[in-house]
Amino acid sequence: MKQRQIQLLRQQIEKLDQKEFDLEAWKNYTIIILARIFGNDSLKIKQIEKLEYENNSWTLRDTAGQASFVQSCKKLGREILEASIDEIENLGTPERSEAKTDSLFVSMITDALENELKGAEFKEIMNVLRSGMNEEEKKRQVKQRLNDAGEETAMNILLAILTRKEFII
């Protein structure tokens, strides 16, 4: 896992030297990788987000200034990624791990169910999910209870989950 993370970061460093470099595309892809490795609140992500071409009147008149600003963005991006690689190699990744992420998703789903279902409907579904039934029987019973609650309720549950700011695709 550690080697794959490092490899992805090195690929992003290589992209900095491509002839057809697109800063915004590079930033977006880099942010996705860093969020996956270090978490959404990582200082590294905030630093990458701050990288921007300066389009003020002085740099627009001076093409050399624009080019040097692009080089400055690339240099800073390279430094951030190299520091990230050093951190992974020497310290590993932060302990935000999958357990915390899993806990967040469970919380998001539970909140959505609780907010969209009536109290008794919510309790019934939670009892089914916590029961010792096999997976197929759980699916059948949860599906039946969601059907009983109505198509609109099931859609609202899904929308509540997908529109949470913590939901990352």
Of 28-37, 39-48, 79-88, 125-134, the range with the highest mean pLDDT is 79-88
Q: Say yes or no: 23 and 102 in one domain.
A: no
Interaxial angle between packed helices 119-130 and 135-149, expressed in degrees from 0 to 180 and rounded to the nearest 10: 170
Residue 48 has pLDDT above 70, yes or no: yes
- Domain boundary (43, 60, 91) is at 91
- Domain boundary (60, 91, 122) is at 91
Q: Say yes or no: 39 and 74 in one domain.
A: yes
pTM of the entire predicted model: 0.52
Find the mean pLDDT for residues 26-42.
87
Q: What pLDDT, on a 0 to 100 scale, did the predictor assign at position 59?
A: 42
Give the pLDDT confidence of 83-122 residue by residue, as tens digits: 999 999 998 877 654 545 566 777 788 888 989 999 899 8
Token pair for 24: 């915004």
d(CA 48, CA 13) in angstroms, rounded, equals 13
> Using the 8-state DSSP alphabet, how is residue 39 labeled?
-
Alpha helices in the chain (DSSP H): 2-15, 23-38, 43-50, 57-61, 63-91, 97-116, 119-130, 135-149, 151-162
- Domain boundary (67, 91, 115) is at 91
